A and B are shown apart, each in its own frame.
Chain A
Amino acid sequence: MLRFLLTRLAVTVPTLLGMSFVAFAIVALAPGDPVQMELRAMGIVPKPEDIAAIKAAYGLDKPFFIRYAHWLARALQFDFGTSVATGRSVIAEIGHHMPATLMLSLVSLVGAVGISLALGTLAVMADRFTANCVRALSIVLVSVPPFWLALLFIHVFVLNLGWSRLVGDGSAIDLILPALTLSIGAGAAMGRFVYERVRAEACEDYVRLAIAKGVSPFGILLGHIGPRIIGSMTTVWANTLGWLLGGAVIVESIFSWPGLGQLILQAISQRDFPIIQGYLVLMGLVFFVTSFLADIVLVLADPQLRRGLADE
């Protein structure tokens, strides 16, 4: 097991390096000279020595790969510099916005998992008519743009019924609408996957055997199919969490949820390069951590793989 973990980590290192390079390059190679922008923002007439001084201050007078090396060395210590717009450190800015996004994503994930299991198993187990209805419903829910759903929710629950408020203080009540919006789309998408997996397993011989033995449908689902699909389900959950963390941009902005999505939207529009780089690296890390954890679960959940690792 330890060996598996170490190999898995070793494989990750070059990818992480590549990812940091992309995060650096996409911003460093973007058009628009940060030096000129800085001078214009300060409202001063640039003299050549001013430009040279600022270039030196940002290390822009050095070649691209040297700059990358410097940046990487600092990034390894989680130092992504200071935000151009606010003057605070990038890590502090991300730290301010992380908790709100994390809370929204986790709650949405739990909601989505619940919805997906309900939709998926119902589609497999119910009678033909109900199953078709459930499948149709999932497809419709997958097809609804989340931002549109968010606006409909606001129209109904905030403006017409007055059950909820729009500008919260980040407390649990304010979480309900944005989390619901995100859960429905993600839940329906995962529901399709649950249906696929359960249906695929239900074609296998061991299920026929279980049916022949007279095991109840729920028994088959929980006792036989469940363990077999839990590994791949975890992978999907991990991917969905990554998607929720990064993909909540629009929903956060519609519901004025003070999370990372708002931060990155503003950073992109203000061309706050250090924030964009820090955010991209963070999201990459999140992606690798979640998929790493999912891989471990995948191994632990699969008896064959587990045995294979033990034999080594």
Chain B
Amino acid sequence: MTFGIFLLFGFAILALAGGTSNLPPPEKMDLLSRLAGPSERHLLGTDHLGRDLLSRLLAAIPVSLGAALKTMAAILAIALPWGLISGLAGGRTDMVMMRLADIVMAFPTLVLALAVIGFMGASLEASIIGVAVAWWPSNARLIRALVLSANERDFVKASYLAGASRRRVIFRHVLPQILPPLAVIVSLETASVLLALSSLSFLGIGAQPPMPEWGAMLNEARPFFAHAPHMLIAPGLAVVCAVLAFNLVGEGLRDLLDKRRPYQW
């Protein structure tokens, strides 16, 4: 977990450093030094248009991570109210809402996102919407499960019995209970969303050039990977580290929250 937070901070600092450093601008082409390997002038080498890879990699941090966070926010904006209402209302409302979520869940996430983007036209915004549309139901289900188990707790039942208003119970007792596990879910899901977005960019239907974005950089690197593997490795590792960071934070939070200890043999 510490390592995960460290990584995230590292990305933030690097993103800031990228803006203030004296690296060449990420879109600047130097057609004389195309596909150059790492050197003193270009620490990570250059791409097929002679653009500095380090500069592009750093400029991509806010784009790639920002897109993942925006997508996660969009997912939560649908999934949180959906799961809460479904879990608290119960009965027929619950059933209908969950069936509706099931309908969307039945389709493969990536293909549904692809179809949505296909009809909107490729752009980073379209891929954010596409992923959010395909992704929210599974999170709505998770949130509903959290709400159900929170609702079952004795003190929640007790405050209902004590005549507390529904709104008061929700905000005072239910929400605070589901927030910690929700933080775990958000962190782990952000990791997966980041992977999904980079897959879409890799297919060339996410971020549009010349915008630097890790998945798009990998897409550009692909034709050259046989003899310029440096183009592929740096952005790939950046994606791995970012996904890893969110995963580690999520796992770490889970361990922190989990008070049970297994019996050792």
Contacts and interface: CB of A to CB of B under 8 A. Distances in A.
Could you say which of B103, B108, B191, B262 has the most chain A C-beta atoms within 10 Å of its C-beta?
B108
Tier of interface size on chain B:
35 or more
Contacts of B191: 142-143
B239 interface: yes
Contacts of A283: 106-108, 111
B115 interface: yes
A144 interface: yes
Interface stretch (A36-44, A53-61, A240-248): A240-248
Nearest to B243: A143
B199 interface: yes
A287 B105 contact: yes
B236 A145 contact: yes
Interface stretch (B28-36, B48-56, B162-170, B218-226): B218-226
Contact of B263 (A18, A144, A159, A203): A203
Contacts of B17: none
B94 interface: no
Nearest to A135: B251
Interface stretch (A75-83, A113-121, A147-155): A147-155
13 contacts: A18-B99, A22-B104, A26-B119, A135-B251, A142-B247, A143-B244, A145-B198, A147-B202, A159-B226, A217-B265, A249-B110, A284-B103, A284-B107
Interface in B190-243: 191, 195, 198-199, 202-203, 218, 222, 225-226, 229, 232, 236, 239-240, 243
A247 B262 contact: no
Given A22-B104, A202-B263, A284-B106, 19 more contacts: A19-B106, A30-B119, A140-B244, A143-B240, A143-B243, A145-B198, A145-B239, A145-B240, A155-B226, A202-B262, A208-B263, A220-B265, A243-B109, A271-B118, A279-B111, A280-B111, A283-B107, A284-B103, A287-B107
A139 B107 contact: no
Contacts of B92: none
Contacts of A32: 119
Contacts of B203: 250
A268 B121 CA distance: 12
A15 B99 contact: yes
A249 B248 CA distance: 27
Contacts of B248: 139
Query: Which applies to chain A's interface (DSSP): helix, strand, loop or mixed?
Result: helix
B127 to A, nearest CB: 14
Interface in B92-141: 99-100, 102-112, 114-116, 118-119
B244 A200 contact: no
Contacts of A284: 103, 106-107
Query: Which applies to chain B's interface (DSSP): helix, strand, loop or mixed?
Result: helix
A24 to B, nearest CB: 12
Tier of interface size on chain A:
35 or more
A144 B119 CA distance: 29
A71 interface: no
Contacts of B195: 143, 145
A211 B263 contact: yes
Given A143-B243, A155-B226, A268-B115, A246 B263 contact: no
B260 interface: yes
A155 B102 contact: no
A26 B105 CA distance: 15
Contact of A140 (B111, B115, B218, B240): B240
B261 interface: yes
Interface in A60-115: none
Contacts of A155: 225-226, 229
A288 B116 CA distance: 22
B111 A246 contact: yes
A249 B198 CA distance: 14
A236 B187 CA distance: 21
Contacts of B198: 145
A250 B199 contact: yes
Nearest to B262: A202
Contacts of A264: 111, 114
Interface in A12-34: 14-15, 18-19, 22-23, 26-27, 30-32
Given A15-B103, A202-B262, A147 B115 contact: no
A276 interface: yes
Contacts of A152: 236
